[in-house]
Structure 1
């Protein structure tokens, strides 16, 4: 934190209030993976030493900052020296910020003639350049990828024309996160030509080499956790462990007390499908209120409740939500009732209605996530906003070991993680819980989906480094397991965190002959893992020879 003297500096106060729009130039830095507690006053001293700063903004929801220097050289120096540095609990990542004032025409023109460059529109806001490139790399080598987040568009330059044509044909109309890609051939303008693209690629290569050297330096000892999350992410938001129910009660009592018969329901539904006055809606509301809990699960009654909910006054809607609140979980796992609960969540207006919903679902979150219908109810709650949906992530963290192995639970967790409504901090919170339960999840077909998200999709720095030590105590059994062996190979066949790979290699080949012999004694998967490690393109020939010698020694005993 800054001293009181520094906090009162006029230029710092001016910087704090600066509302200038940031535009792309080599002067603006995009800083990711910030500690969520940082303010601009906290962050400024780390960067002012490089030169004069024109403006600084922090987006706390996404844990990112935009820092605009007056001099491009100062920005470049700050990027080179601060990229990968620890600030409080997080290892930050820095890139130059994309242009927020460009129009498509200034960057590239859409053309009908095939080119190596593709313009991709309707890119989900949650996607970063690396993730965008992953969607297209399967069609062939890519020279560069640039994402213009302000326009939800990207520019992808392939090395070969045929690959670009193939990608355009396959990816145009591709759906991702409720967005449909629109892909067109593009002619890159002079200011964004191949030379400038190459310079970006060269800079990226330099950063990669720098990262490799840094990782090689720390091979001897596994460094402390550098993933930008700490144990604080394992605690519920209220700093107290919440109590959760393991099961959801049934509705038998409410079904037995129903007073509205089927004929009456059919008549009401028919009228509600046509034009109805406010007075009629009020009458229907009064009719269903006494039986509303049971009606929610009826194949006709649930439709009536939804229509009344949609058309009634805010006052009546609140009464209905208040009455259903204690039964939302029970109704939510019913094949008919789940639609009513999802409708209630969608139609909720104001903090009072939202609070009734949260209170009704909160303690049932784990069993709801494990249910084929209930998990959709919880996913709907993501739309309630960060402050109101935090209970979902608290429950996932507290019960990850129980929810993760579930068929619906694992998929629901992954859907929550990939939702546009989920913040970076919430992702980190769940990521740490996945790490904590890694030994159970990696041997489970459903849990393995979460491990895959963490290692392949999340892009969180330090993810390989933090999960590797969790696997070492049972490395032999994991190498001999169909699912877990896949996780082991992911750690070996990555070039991001070399020290994590080194840790796995040491635990397999240098922890003692007994470990290696146990792995080799499993012909189904153990032998295959060793063969794939020895054939890995991520291991140099000299090291392969040494590892092969270790295998010979183990086999000869």
Structure 2
């Protein structure tokens, strides 16, 4: 497949990058070139695919550059930002990878503003990347050429072209439709609308087996106000001590050789370890506990001390590691040591230290590939000690539920045998509150399925129908949103919820809602067809709905 990137093989080792740019530059503007002398090849990236095609056609037959006859073929191009074919072509949107963990959108925008006017900038801290959208294409090209591989706040960034976000047209902005005032299909629809609209102002979650209108939509402001950290801390540097000679300048603890670590592991892996041997080993290793956690062999030693040590030893291990537990928990070696400490924490004092150390970082840990397992391990503490996990999910639901690892970790927490019914309901409240956004997100959709299919909360269809009805035009034409809409219609547990959705779609005072849904051949038409073919609606009602369709069609 033609791309704007060319692979050049059998390159003369004596050639420089400038020589190759001069040779290929006559076919079009060269954006970048990477020379690999040890592999006798190079990669040439043109700004346009057409120029790359002309260069390949001219040299494919066996052109000589320097003293060698080169081979030329199409490369894979630069698809850093997205797998979309558009990423192969220059666009006015840039993807910036490997940015600093603490980077902000404003900061990123200011760095790139010198290349031209910026339309928008955003940062995904949990993925260490960001996007900068320029107004003009040429400014984005210049910015990529100048900044790719350069350092921003101490981090060497990678830059690629990204898909330009769609313009916010009037149709796209019109997501909220008025909840219909026309008479619903049945009296139950009117009751659902009235109940979901009036609500209550009482504090708390009400009954633990049902989602009641009003109460269910009340997010706990005290939990939301907790100062969760915006990003995870860095892995701590090597231990610092005061030198034995009295010098007050910091110095490192003497490093334990790997051979010694392996020998200690062999001793701790024995079927029975004498108490005096264990005490000698722990006395040697405890000062290095934090450093050992991130070591390939050392983390196993920490695990063995947690397993075989006394409660006082485990408390001392936790005390030393707790200040750095969040950072160590996302390390490829450290996460195993932290998870073992959590599993072995059997005393209230140990668990309190762990909870205090992890609580500010729960949302960020849930979004991490390894950190989410650290949080899940705390569920074994049982209620109310593990409530800090569900509190964080409730407070930062939208952020966590839209993450790949976050959504799956939340579902695992909800399905855990340790989760109480009230803890599940606390999360369900925030899912309902953010239902419109989560129903159209690939990860959030997993949690919407849990709420509808697995949670067994009475009233779940009713409160969701009220939340989603104002967005029906948008949801019914979205691949994931349409699935949620049809689930609300295809159920018979709460017919008033079903009627509210049908009334919003077919009897809306705004006739463009149904027209827009029918105009969408990908999803909207199938939603209407599913309604007419569903078993939850009687034949008489289907006839009435068909009558409403005829004028629009």
Q: Distance in 2 between matches of 1:530 and 1:360?
A: 51
Query: Which of the residues 496, 511, 529 maps onto 2:527?
Result: 529
Match of 1:246 in 2: 230
Q: 1:539 aligns with which of 511, 529, 537?
A: 537
Cα deviation for residue 492 of structure 1 reads: 0.2
Answer yes or no: is 1:220 the counterpart of 2:190.
Answer: yes
More helix by share: 1
Q: In the TM superposition, what whole-angstrom CA distance separates every residue of 1:135-162 from its partner, at most 9, and x where no partner exists?
A: xxxxxxxxxxxxxxxxxxxxxxxxxxxx
Alignment partners' CA distance in 2, 1:253 and 1:244 = 23
State the alpha-carbon separation in 1 of the partners of residues 338 and 488 from structure 2.
Answer: 42
Does 1:505 find its partner at 2:502?
yes
Task: Return the match for 1:432 from 420, 429, 433.
Answer: 429
Is the Cα contact below 8 Å between 2:375 and 2:389 reproduced in 1? Answer: yes
Larger Rg: 2
CA–CA distance in 2 between the matches of 1:378 and 1:239?
Answer: 18
Q: Which has the higher contact order (CA 8 A, sep 6+)?
A: 2
Partner of 2:325: 328
1:278 counterpart (252, 261, 275): 275
Q: Deviations over 1:96-135 (max 9, x none)?
A: xxxxxxxxxxxxxxxxxxxxxxxxxxxxxxxxxxxxxxxx
Instruction: State the shift of 1:462 in Å.
Output: 0.3
CA contact (8 A) 1:278 1:312 kept: no
Task: Check the 8 A contact 2:295/2:333 in 1, yes or no.
Answer: yes
What is residue 115 of structure 1 aligned with on the other side? none
Q: Secondary structure at the match of 2:457?
A: coil
Task: Report the CA distance between 1:509 and its aligned residue.
Answer: 1.0
2:236 and 2:324 in contact (8 A); partners too:
no
- Indicate how the Cα distance of structure 1 residues 346 and 300 shifts in structure 2: closer, same or farther if over 3 A, else same: same
The question of whether the paired residues in 1 share the 8 Å contact of 2:212 and 2:463 is answered with no
User: Alpha-carbon deviation of 1:239?
Assistant: 6.1
> Mean alpha-carbon deviation: is it higher for 322-331 or for 222-231?
222-231
Any conservation in 2 of the 1:386–1:423 contact (CA below 8 Å)?
yes
More off after superposition, 503-512 vs 389-398: 503-512
Q: TM-score, normalised by structure 1?
A: 0.59
Contact 1:228/1:428 (8 A) holds in 2: no
Are the counterparts in 2 of residues 251 and 294 from structure 1 also a CA contact under 8 Å?
Answer: no
Which residue of 2 is the match for residue 263 of structure 1?
259
Structure 2 gap ranges (5+)? 1-184, 197-209, 241-251
- What are the equivalent positions in structure 2 for 1:437-476 lying under 5 Å apart? 437-476=434-473
Question: Offset at 1:408?
Answer: 1.0
Of the candidates 210, 217, 220, which is equivalent to residue 235 of structure 1? Answer: 220
Provide the C-alpha distance between the structure 2 equivalents of 1:456 and 1:232, rounded to a whole number of angstroms: 20
CA contact (8 A) 2:473 2:516 kept: yes
Aligned to 1:342: 339
1:366 to 363, 368, 375: 363
Counterparts in 2 of 1:423 and 1:523: CA distance versus 1, 3 Å: same
What is the correspondence of 1:97-246 to structure 2 with a 5 Å cutoff? Answer: 217-221=187-191, 222-225=193-196, 227-228=211-212, 230=215, 234-235=219-220, 241-246=225-230
Matching residue within 302, 307, 311 for 1:310: 307
Task: Return the alpha-carbon distance in structure 2 between the equivalents of residues 412 and 478 of structure 1.
Answer: 25
Q: 1:272–1:304: 8 Å Cα contact kept in structure 2?
A: yes
Report the Cα offset of residue 241 of structure 1.
Answer: 2.4
Distance in 1 between residues matched to 2:445 and 2:368, nearest whole Å: 19
Distance of aligned partners of 1:505 and 1:240 in 2 relative to their CA distance in 1, 3 Å threshold: closer
TM-score using structure 2 length: 0.59
Task: Please name the residue that 2:351 is paired with.
Answer: 354
- Matching residue within 482, 495, 515 for 1:517: 515
Unaligned runs of 5+ in 1: 1-214
SS at match of 2:190: coil
1:411-446 per-residue CA deviation (whole Å, 9 max, x = no partner) reads 111111111111111111111110011111101111
